[in-house]
A and B are shown apart, each in its own frame.
Chain A
Amino acid sequence: MNMQLAKKKKKCITLPSTVVLPHDLIVEVLSYLPVKSLVRFMSVCKSWKTLIYDPTFVKLHLKRSPTRNPLFTLTTYHVPRTLGYYYSVIPYPISRFIENRSFNLSVDPYYSLEDKECSHIVGTCNGLICLSHYSYIDDQFNKEFWLRLWNPATRTISPQFGYFRGFNVFNFKFGYDNSTGKYKVVAFRYHNQKSNVRILSFGDNVWRDIEGLPAVPVHLHFNYHEHAAIGCVYLCGSLNWLAIHNINEYNYKDITVGQFLIVSLELGTETYNQYMLPRRVDGVLSGTPTVSVLGGCLCFSYSYKETDFVIWQMKKFGVEDSWTQFLKISFHNLQVECNFSKPRMMHYFELVPLFLSENGDTPVLTTIGDSNAILYNLSDNRVEQTKFTAARITTSSCSTSNITCWYMAMDFVESLVSTF
């Protein structure tokens, strides 16, 4: 016991008039700071400058992110008088949005993808946003693609990587493999009942072909809007597609949940798992269900009997028994008109869950064809639509119209993760 006392006496500090915290406690305090403050504090001293890029500190800081301010990627685009348009992606606090749904936002030109030479957003993970570019290079419909990794909090961006040329249109998804600590991009396409899947690890920067999907990715089959995360989502180190075994069985007017499944590509092993959907869903669905992520859980949502919108959450990823109904609300109460008579137009009216408020009681939804978001408060059953305008700060006198692409909103956290 005396030894322990002696050890404790070593830690003993004589109380000075100015307190001096030991290094490990200072590091702990710093791990709770937002990125902007940490970047500014690189000027404090040399050791703080090195600390901010230290991989152990970066990991610690990232671990604090859920307790810090959860954000989402607010995506807008403006249409200038000149040809072409570029998106702006602004990390925006979820709590600030929930509190104040109707406001005008001045968009800092830094967030535009124009100077980053990228035209699309692939996905977000651990504070990184994966961007892609594709453009036609000749009149034979050949295209060229490249990727870039962007950290909007530290304002750093990687050089272009993953370049390839081809005739085919690929879809891209981005995620993190916990087992190797690598960020990976998956390119996939589906055509004529066959799928091609390629993987690239950030760092290796080489595309590798892997086994195709074991079932038909439903949304890709119908060639839905490539930006909407309704058919494939990243979660827990895997990519998850809503799929069906036999596409010839698919009849949008007469389909049951039992015909669908989740095909999950594990980014570490690069192999597929399959998960069933909730068994307790009876009856016929209208339109095509979608997958999304809410509150960190895989979600399955659909229109029921053309009157209701339902979301199920897989509370424990990979555990089929953990599917729990999250909400069921009528389209009428959501103030959304759903037109089920025109199948080709239907996906424009399909509701897409975007993200959840911090306390978990207000999901934010949108429809692909709409430029409004819908907030539904589960505790008091209140529904609100946003009135939101984003104006790009511009020095020119061009008149621009600004459109918010709600269907591109994704959960986001700030981090110090390096883009190199």
Chain B
Amino acid sequence: MAEEKSQASSSKMLTLKASDGVLFEVELNIAKEMKTVQAYIDDCEDIETIPIPNVLGKHLAIVIEYIKKTNEEYDAEFEKQWNMDDLQLLLLAANYLNISGLQECLCKAIAKRIENKSPEYVRKVFNIENDHSPEEEAKLRKEYKWAFEGVDKD
């Protein structure tokens, strides 16, 4: 009896509903990679449609695709396709859904994109206000001149 039950659950399909109403039918074992979804299922075994209120359909589609395909080569190609806003939104999605592999991949991807950039560029990316005084900033630039060499032009 127990065997039958586990057989049934591995091919069971679940529906995930994105914030903009888009529906995704996924296999249970794919959905379980999202620990947030897993927690939902643990609480309520018979649920068929799980709401994902923080994530747009566009991004949930990408996340599901990632889980299905994930391997090293895919990771390297994966991050190249998205712009900075999408990468950050995907990171928020991966964090909310608690998918550690995807979260790491996205953090590394964002880091790679800002690695050689100027502080001004980085402030725009993360929406950060410069609260250094002009004197403080000048002091830092002078003291760490070597760290500013070879930086990409904005």
Q: Which of B39, B54, B56, B144 contacts A39 (CB 8 A)?
A: B144
- B111–A40 contact, CB under 8 A? no
Min CB–CB distance B93 → chain A (angstroms) = 11
- B119–A44 contact, CB under 8 A? yes
- A43–B127 contact, CB under 8 A? no
Instruction: Find chain A residues with CB under 8 A from B112 CB.
Output: 32
- A43–B137 contact, CB under 8 A? yes
- A42–B95 contact, CB under 8 A? no
Q: When each residue 1-39 of chain A gets 1 if its CB lies under 8 Å from chain B and 0 otherwise, what string results? A: 100100011011101001111000110111111101101
Q: When each residue 133-170 of chain A gets 1 if its CB lies under 8 Å from chain B and 0 otherwise, what string results? A: 00000000000000000000001000000000000000
Q: Which of the segments B2-10, B22-30, B74-82, B83-91 contacts the partner chain? A: B83-91
Instruction: Find chain A residues with CB under 8 A from B43 CB.
Output: 1, 4
- B126–A26 contact, CB under 8 A? yes
Q: Which of B108, B122, B128, B141 contacts A32 (CB 8 A)?
A: B108
CA distance A8 to B54 in the complex (A): 9
CA distance A26 to B144 in the complex (A): 22
A280 interfacial contact with B, CB 8 Å: no
CA distance A108 to B122 in the complex (A): 28
B66 interfacial contact with A, CB 8 Å: no
- B107–A28 contact, CB under 8 A? yes
CA distance A30 to B117 in the complex (A): 13
Closest A residue, CB atoms, query B54:
A12
B46 interfacial contact with A, CB 8 Å: no
CA distance A18 to B123 in the complex (A): 12
- B107–A110 contact, CB under 8 A? no
- A37–B115 contact, CB under 8 A? yes
B130 interfacial contact with A, CB 8 Å: yes
Instruction: Find chain B residues with CB under 8 A from A8 CB.
Output: 36, 53-54, 96
- A19–B92 contact, CB under 8 A? yes
- B91–A40 contact, CB under 8 A? no
- B92–A40 contact, CB under 8 A? no
Instruction: Find chain A residues with CB under 8 A from B137 CB.
Output: 43
Min CB–CB distance A193 → chain B (angstroms) = 50
Q: Which bucket holds chain B's interface residue count?
A: 35 or more
Q: Which of A11, A21, A40, A49 contacts B54 (CB 8 A)?
A: A11
Instruction: Find chain B residues with CB under 8 A from A21 CB.
Output: 88, 91-92, 126
- B96–A11 contact, CB under 8 A? yes
* Given A19-B92, A43-B137, A30-B128 contact (CB < 8 Å): no
Closest A residue, CB atoms, query B36:
A8
The B14-41 residues at the A interface (CB cut-off 8 A) are: 19, 36, 39-40
- A33–B114 contact, CB under 8 A? yes
Q: Which bucket holds chain A's interface residue count?
A: 35 or more
Min CB–CB distance B79 → chain A (angstroms) = 12
* Given A4-B43, A43-B137, A46-B132, A110-B114 contact (CB < 8 Å): no
CA distance A33 to B114 in the complex (A): 9
CA distance A73 to B99 in the complex (A): 37
CA distance A252 to B43 in the complex (A): 70
Q: When each residue 44-59 of chain A gets 1 if its CB lies under 8 Å from chain B and 0 otherwise, what string results? A: 1110110000000000
A41 interfacial contact with B, CB 8 Å: yes
B110 interfacial contact with A, CB 8 Å: yes
CA distance A9 to B52 in the complex (A): 10
CA distance A244 to B12 in the complex (A): 64
Q: Which of A25, A37, A45 contacts B128 (CB 8 A)?
A: A45
**Chain A residues within 8 Å of B, Cβ to Cβ:** 1, 4, 8-9, 11-13, 15, 18-21, 25-26, 28-34, 36-37, 39-46, 48-49, 110, 155
**Chain B residues within 8 Å of A, Cβ to Cβ:** 19, 36, 39-40, 43-44, 53-54, 56, 85, 88-89, 91-92, 95-96, 103, 107-108, 110-112, 114-116, 118-119, 122-123, 126-132, 137, 140-141, 144, 146-148, 151
Across the A-B interface, give the 5 residue pairs with the lowest CB-CB distance, nearest first.
A32-B111, A19-B88, A39-B147, A40-B147, A43-B119
Task: List 19 other contacts, CB 8 Å, given A25-B92, A45-B131.
Answer: A9-B53, A13-B54, A19-B88, A19-B127, A21-B91, A26-B126, A31-B107, A36-B147, A37-B147, A40-B144, A40-B147, A40-B148, A40-B151, A41-B122, A42-B144, A43-B137, A44-B130, A46-B131, A48-B128
